[in-house]
Chain A
């Protein structure tokens, strides 16, 4: 009976309740708690294992409303898996934090954590105390991270030659469905980043890159628009569909005659007053349009709507306008065109206008849907990746994959050190960690050795997903790494005939890998330290 420990007895042998409602609460502690954690962690990791690597498979998620998501992205899978188990939830968080911090490697980090938990189980059975295991892992992770720094190579970051960056982005995209047009997508991602990169701060503002999807066409039709794409059309059907050398007034005030609001008190006692009011309305409105005209604008983008009369006046004044443009898009347009967002008509001046060389409407297929494309902006460092694809699910997945690729390129801009993928750096670390293990005198050495084994889980999974005999393949690569002293040997997932990841151009960022190892270790440490779970029982009602 696991719950006996919470009962105490007084001198007459009557039980004293310490916790409220404890008989209805569930509780697990001690070794059972550990075992149950490990089991849950392993189950989550096993689900994700098959998604790892270029030969990994996708998962199909059906939401409560029956919508379908098909994805290969670890973080997305986990967030939609409806995991209820507490430890499972921790793993979901783990993958999410990898996603937030690095953007890629969300599957790998969970697989590694799962493997560490699996190894811990064997050690627990040997009778090693969980804290000792956790400490051992900590030591081992440090060794592995140091080793990663040692084998990492500095990578050329040259704005003129983007090929190395493209290769890294291609490694990320390799496992996604869009690897059909891997090179094209990778180039799009790199160009997008290069467009907005701030080389002095070595950082990238993601706000400036918008990924917009639209079903139809083929994946190959995906393109990078150096400007902004807005899902809107010109307000009046007879306005010109194309504006060249547009000077844009960006307004956040309603473009309509000042209407008396209910709260205002307005006394109209006779016909004259009413006439005056009408005159005033009209005057006000002509004034508005005049002020825009005077400022020199030839395109109005407005956050609010304008009524039919305004619409026609704009048309007759030959002032094309776009209405109901959302807040974030207004900001993007403002940044792109170098204009200022104008909250009141009075404040509109010529220097607050934005400039775009070419504004035009795109139309699609047989549906009468249009999008507005703003190109050749003054500050052309905003860009939009416009994703096309044969169905909704592909477009969504392509957007996620491109996000990953963007993140990886950004990481390279931040820190241009790289390691080789395809399991190469994991195997190299495993060898190093195992070597270190022998030098440790205490029982932690078992934990460190276990850590080395766990590191191999990534190449093992890669080999398994690629249809090789996992253990044999990994053993071959491992011995080759030791014999040749070459840390860039990995699993040849695509069967190209060479194990050298350097020549296969399978490249991952150092920070991504570092983050994977340290996050996974941290989480496993935390799980190992839990020895008691209490669940609120079913409520009485």
Chain B
């Protein structure tokens, strides 16, 4: 039997060196461990009393070296922490997608997915096949989404009520963020900004300018438009009834090198004259304006603003209602932008150009003030979240109730389904309901209340048919969310449930992890 011995003693290497393989139980263990670790990491930020995290970028290299970040936003936290566990990466990805798709609920989706997987650990210990669990989950997801759609309300027909809904949504979104102290103020600010977009979901029209100093409550929504640029020297600093030409054209020397500055000057002078034929008194260019043409403009008393970036130019065109022009031969065809007043204003230490009395107010600017850079950054993220949710709500105007009401509603319905379903799937369906119930539990835990008591009360209320009841985290009791005005977008909730279920299902189907060795990085010797 020498042959057999030989084979036994010389194991045949199947994989390349460094490849790791984890099979069945071990693979599942590492899946669940990863998912739960991410879930536990992030769940303390959930809800109105959730806490923030400090993220410090690594000290070595990179433009962000040593930068500090204080945030409550799930997607931001997850995108900044380096993760090695493959399943954790799946969760990071769903939170990113949630951010791109809805803008908020990035924490909820990860927490729900990780709670689903936590429940599964018990189910697998009871020897229930993962595919059976998945089959149960699918039924549960369908039921939950059906119920959610049933309770979603659409108030878009009534503008006043709809505006109130939007205010409530903004307030709910902001209540877990740093802005909660001023949430009424900021909610109004966000709603005003979004309504200015007239149903468009493109948030590029809303510019957020951050300036250090003062107090957060000094932030405001500028009805007009602010441009973070300076007016050229020797030009009027204040102009009424402006006719603005927005351009994207080179105002520097030509690319072909030619002799003689005279020629260049001639060419430039031609161009400037052509521009002046448009009968404008303000000229804004995306590219640089060199000294010479600037001087020419100044002579004619035209205000010239150089180097407004792409976004700035596009926003300006939207706000002022003008065309973006690159050739100047047909002055009669070009629409000029108009505004009543252009002036230079000073915020903090910086000078900005303010356009007020604009004709088409499809864009606007939010000015944020705050004591530290971290506060400003976090405030910007919060405002961005709120704006995203609001703009999505304008498109899909259905709403449902927050504060755990929607989750508890779904959980109750799913539990009822579990009772009706025969077979092992019933256990899986029940576990789905438990995972849904975890969300209000975590919210209560984070606020320091007796979660077991509260959630049990809430459950009883829902079973008794009070389907709008949720948790009031200011008083620590269950209360009717209609009275408190805690409202969330239906689109957001639906996306949270379906995307978390999708991710959990995907993770549960894994029974084998094959890990390639990390690519060996060659040291870059070019700089040495």
Contacts and interface: CB of A to CB of B under 8 A. Distances in A.
Given A36-B7, A66-B84, A274 B263 contact: yes
A139 interface: no
A488 B24 CA distance: 32
A268 B267 CA distance: 15
B258 A391 contact: no
A215 B97 contact: yes
Nearest to B135: A494
A366 B502 contact: no
A526 interface: no
B391 interface: yes
A391 to B, nearest CB: 4
A295 interface: no
A206 B3 CA distance: 50
Interface stretch (B163-171, B233-241, B457-465, B516-524): B516-524
A342 interface: no
A390 B499 contact: yes
Contacts of B103: 365-366
Interface string B200-212: 0111100000000
B231 interface: no
Given A39-B7, A65-B519, A316-B330, A58 B506 contact: yes
Interface string A125-158: 0000000000000000000000000000000000
B3 A32 contact: yes
B99 to A, nearest CB: 7
A305 to B, nearest CB: 14
Nearest to A370: B202
A50 interface: yes
B326 A313 contact: yes
B94 A80 contact: no
Contacts of A50: 24, 511-512
B506 A367 contact: no
B327 to A, nearest CB: 5
A59 B511 contact: yes
Contacts of B6: 2, 32
B3 A57 contact: no
Of the listed residues B103, B201, B511, the one surrounded by the most CB atoms of chain A closer than 10 A to its CB is: B511
B203 A368 contact: yes
A290 interface: no
B203 A366 contact: yes
A57 B512 contact: yes
A193 B101 CA distance: 31
A260 interface: yes
A60 B27 contact: yes
A59 B90 CA distance: 14
A216 interface: yes
A20 to B, nearest CB: 24
Given A55-B129, A238-B324, A68 B15 contact: no
Interface string B499-528: 110110110011111111111000000000
B275 to A, nearest CB: 13
A237 B317 contact: yes
Interface in B73-97: 84, 86-87, 89-90, 93-94, 97
Interface in B230-287: 248-249, 255-256, 258, 260, 262-263, 266-267
Nearest to A221: B498
A536 interface: no
Nearest to B325: A312
B19 A313 contact: no
Contact of B511 (A57, A65, A177, A315): A57
Of the listed residues B86, B99, B203, B495, the one surrounded by the most CB atoms of chain A closer than 10 A to its CB is: B86
Contacts of B89: 66, 68
B42 interface: no
Contacts of B333: 316
A108 interface: no
Contact of B510 (A44, A60, A282): A60
B14 A62 contact: no
Given A316-B323, A368-B204, A309 B102 contact: no
Interface in A18-44: 30-32, 35-36, 39-40, 43-44
B400 to A, nearest CB: 17
Given A47-B512, A60-B510, A308 B326 contact: yes
A479 interface: no
A50 B262 CA distance: 80
Contact of B15 (A59, A70, A82, A312): A82
B509 A177 contact: yes
A242 to B, nearest CB: 14
A63 interface: yes
B326 to A, nearest CB: 3
B99 A316 contact: no
A344 B285 CA distance: 33
Contact of B509 (A72, A219, A309): A72
Interface stretch (A83-91, A403-411, A423-431): A83-91
Contact of B14 (A57, A88, A278, A389): A88
Q: How large is the interface on A (under 10, 10 to 19, 20 to 34, 35 or more residues)?
A: 35 or more
A60 B102 CA distance: 28
B324 A237 contact: yes
A58 B388 CA distance: 35
B138 interface: yes
B438 interface: no
B120 interface: no
Given A39-B12, A82-B16, A60 B324 contact: no
Interface in B180-220: 201-204
A217 interface: yes
Interface in A265-313: 268, 271, 274, 278, 282, 308-313
B326 A62 contact: no
B314 interface: yes
B314 A237 contact: yes
Interface in B152-175: none
A444 to B, nearest CB: 24
Nearest to A46: B23
A271 B255 CA distance: 16
Contacts of B350: none
A493 to B, nearest CB: 9
A392 B101 contact: no
Contacts of A70: 90, 506, 509-510
Contacts of A85: 12-15
A80 B204 CA distance: 40
B417 interface: no
A66 B519 CA distance: 9
Contacts of A238: 317, 323-324
A64 B19 CA distance: 10
Contacts of B99: 366
Contacts of A225: none
B327 A81 contact: no
B130 interface: yes
A505 interface: no
Interface in B4-32: 4, 6-7, 12-17, 19, 21, 24, 27, 31
A342 to B, nearest CB: 24
Given A43-B14, A83-B14, A392-B93, A313 B327 contact: yes
Nearest to A260: B256
A61 interface: yes
Contact of B326 (A30, A31, A311, A389): A311
B514 A391 contact: no
Contact of A84 (B13, B203, B260): B13
Contact of B131 (A2, A43, A55, A217): A55
Name the 5 nearest CB pairs between A and B, nearest first.
Answer: A312-B326, A390-B499, A57-B511, A64-B519, A58-B509
Given A81-B514, A364-B101, 17 more contacts: A50-B512, A55-B129, A55-B131, A60-B31, A61-B515, A62-B86, A68-B90, A80-B516, A82-B15, A217-B101, A238-B317, A268-B258, A309-B327, A311-B248, A311-B326, A366-B101, A393-B90
7 contacts: A62-B514, A72-B509, A85-B15, A218-B499, A366-B102, A366-B203, A390-B502
